[in-house]
Amino acid sequence: MNVARYEPWSLHRDLWQEVNKMFDRAATNDTSGATADWVPPVDIEEYADRFALYIDVPGVDPTSIEVTLEKGVLTIAGSRAEAEKPEGAERRRMERASGRFHRRFTLPDTADAEGVTANGRNGVLEIGIPKRAASQPRRIAVSA
């Protein structure tokens, strides 16, 4: 005989969590496209000489990700296929998003668009954006 714990409010709690996640994503992900099925999380770091972006894209082939830079806007797009369901299995939960993703970032004027690099490893896409050499003030000699 199996005894199962009855939790009548667990479905209610799960529903509220999903609704809250939906509103949180809508409020914070203004860099995603309207057609995106999911939004990969991104970390951005700034150094004295460069910017570094780290985009979590597990299960996505790095060579299939499109990285473009046009008029100061960096765009990252791609897709992740849905995991195949093994024969005879019944899916109980699917939390890993699949489908198209799309992120856009406006770069500051200090970014050097010509030196942008991108490489993927271990499910993380790393984009390096060097900064332009700042114009250093110089002393101008006045001749008599």
Q: Would you list the domain boundaries of the chain?
A: 31-82+98-133
Q: Which fold has domain 31-82+98-133?
A: Immunoglobulin-like (2.60.40)
54 touches 42 (CB < 8 A):
yes
Question: Rounded distance, CA 126 to CA 44, Å?
Answer: 10
Q: Residue 134 to residues 62, 77, 130: CA-CA distances in angstroms?
A: 33, 31, 12
Please say if the pLDDT value at position 106 is more than 90: yes
- The order of strands in the sheet holding 66-70 is 66-70, 73-80, 99-106
- Using a pLDDT cut of 90, give the percent of the chain over it: 48
Tell me: pLDDT of 139 over 60.
Answer: yes
What pTM value is reported for the model? Answer: 0.69
pLDDT tens, 61-93? 999 999 999 999 999 999 998 888 888 888 888
Average pLDDT along the chain? 85
DSSP state for residue 40 in the 8-state scheme:
-
